[in-house]
Amino acid sequence: MNEGPLKILLLSAEVVPFAKTGGLADVAGALPKALKELGHDVRIAMPHYGFIDRQKYNLGQVLSNIDVPMDGQSEAASILEGKIGTSVPIYMVENSKYYDREGIYMYQDDADRFIFFCRAALEMVKHLNWKPDVLHCNDWHTAIIPNWLRTIYRDDPFFQNTVTVYTIHNLAYQGVFGKRVLEVAGIAKYQHLVPPGVSPENQINMMGRGIFFADIVNTVSETYANEILTPEYGEGYDWLLKERRDHLYGILNGVDYEVNNPATDPRIFQHYDIHNLNGKTENKKALQQYAGLAPETHIPLIGIISRLSDQKGFDLIGHVIEGMMSNLNFQLILLGTGSEYYHNLFSEIKHKYPERAAIFLTFNNELAQRIYAGSDMFLMPSRFEPCGLGQLLALRYGSIPIVRETGGLKDTVTNYDPMTNNGNGFTFKNYDSLAMYTSIVRAIETYHYHDRWQMLIQKGMTADFSWKNSAAKYVELYRKALVHRLEHRNEYANVPG
């Protein structure tokens, strides 16, 4: 049994700082750094999207025109290599047909694009003669890999000792495609291995295959790992997850405390730390000016940074936003993109309350940091939340979270009790707009008790939601997968092919 440093290849469709639409990119950019610090040989693989600047990131070609089997034929991929931080290698799969586009997802050929990425990554490690102990796959885009290791790569000596860990970052995005993808992936003849319920009829569900075939499955908080065993949160897979319960874990995401540090972050208006919270007020003033809000520091500023979708609780906000604006004394700053309905709703709010509501319907990393730093509170009333990074970043920058008690929000934010001073934010339980409204009122009331509020800020800023603890838990998980593989070696070999 391998007790020493592990060789880990983490595969992700998005990785900070190269490409990001959400929390997955944050995780893929930060967890490997923490694993490296624990002494492991960790490397990352992602596609090289056309918008990733080769010069800026100092990317060099390490392999050119390797053959990647696709749909019974072969297509060429080149591999670029760069670094995350100073020491984690990142390999980018280059193919202009699939990746020279402006965005990351939402193309008709997404199934092909990510199958190609995964296959190229596996062929790449063979070319580099770098044998990973662990393939750490993330979300539907890389879910085909556990399936391959039990089929087409099953007898490949190169992968004899390689295990798969499959992390679900959001069970709601499953990657459902027509049956043709099995031909593309070269596994049509293994269809009998998969029980009928794993995919709807005549369709292939990538997420389902990842859950079914991976040695170990995990999600990104303990509460979400339990919630997805219920029909309410299971997205149709509670039965399969229950079947895999013995191999299902929850590990809370961390935040990159180096990149996200109010004392050094180059993106915010002014640096600050717990000994100099005036700097935070300066950020608030500068943000108000930047956003066209009235320059009033004594009025609480509520920030929201989010995809504008029902998952994130925008239907709750939609119900009461008018009442909030008319009855409560606060300012709102929102940064987000998503459903057109919410674009229109918030545009109207801005029109009606130009000095109290600032609405930015775009994706902007720099502005996001400025909002974490300049806001007093951070609203995140999610319907479900696998982990949530927004509330962790908010705590790090001293913006007090107001959240619904679900998934990772429940595991990281506890309700402030004015009698005991326990708690680090404001929470509510039921998915209900009045419950949310009440906790916003409690937050605004508490804000006006200066000492209590300063204490909450300091508590948030000194909490440790860095990757240190969670990275060690991932290492345990990798080792569990390796033990499991060793114990079930015969079973693996006997999978009928």
**Which residues would be at the binding site for ligand ADP (CB under 6 A)?**
22-23, 26, 170, 305-307, 335-337, 363-365, 368, 387-390, 393
Gyration radius (Cα) of the chain, Å: 23
Q: Which is nearer to ligand ADP, 132 or 381 (CB)?
A: 381
Q: Which is nearer to ligand ADP, 306 or 439 (CB)?
A: 306
Cβ atoms of 171 and 219 within 8 Å: the answer is yes
Q: Which is nearer to ligand ADP, 172 or 294 (CB)?
A: 172
Report, in this order, helix, strand and coil percent for the chain, each rounded to 5.
40, 20, 35
Token pair listed for 141: 């885009």
- How many whole angstroms separate alpha carbon 302 and alpha carbon 328? 12
Query: What is the nearest approach in angstroms of ligand ADP to the Cβ of residue 312?
Result: 7
Query: What is the nearest approach in angstroms of ligand ADP to the Cβ of residue 253?
Result: 7
Q: Which is nearer to ligand ADP, 172 or 495 (CB)?
A: 172
Q: Which is nearer to ligand ADP, 130 or 363 (CB)?
A: 363
Query: What is the nearest approach in angstroms of ligand ADP to the Cβ of residue 81?
Result: 25
Query: What is the nearest approach in angstroms of ligand ADP to the Cβ of residue 390?
Result: 4
Query: What is the nearest approach in angstroms of ligand ADP to the Cβ of residue 193?
Result: 31
What number of H helices and E strands is found in the chain?
18, 17
Query: What is the nearest approach in angstroms of ligand ADP to the Cβ of residue 291?
Result: 14
Dmax (CA) of the chain: 70
Give the HSE-up count for residue 78: Cα atoms under 13 Å, Cβ half-sphere: 14
Task: Report the chain's terminal Cα–Cα distance, integer Å.
Answer: 28
Which helix (H) or strand (E) element contains residue 487? helix 467-487
Nearest-CB residue to ligand ADP?
Answer: 23
Query: What is the nearest approach in angstroms of ligand ADP to the Cβ of residue 368?
Result: 4
Q: Which is nearer to ligand ADP, 25 or 52 (CB)?
A: 25
- How many whole angstroms separate alpha carbon 252 and alpha carbon 227? 14
Query: What is the nearest approach in angstroms of ligand ADP to the Cβ of residue 376?
Result: 17
Residue bearing tokens 């961390």: 254
In a 3-state reduction of DSSP, which class is residue 34? helix
Q: Which is nearer to ligand ADP, 284 or 396 (CB)?
A: 396
- How many whole angstroms separate alpha carbon 122 and alpha carbon 158? 10
Query: What is the nearest approach in angstroms of ligand ADP to the Cβ of residue 80?
Result: 25
Chain-centroid distance of CA 64 in Å reads 31
CA distances to 61, 76, 319, 497 from 65, rounded to whole Å, are: 10, 5, 54, 30
Angle of helix 450-462 relative to helix 433-447, nearest 10 degrees?
A: 110
Beta strands in 176-284, from DSSP E residues, in sequence order: 176-178, 203-205, 216-219, 248-250
Q: Which is nearer to ligand ADP, 327 or 365 (CB)?
A: 365
- How many whole angstroms separate alpha carbon 284 and alpha carbon 279? 9
Q: Which is nearer to ligand ADP, 321 or 387 (CB)?
A: 387
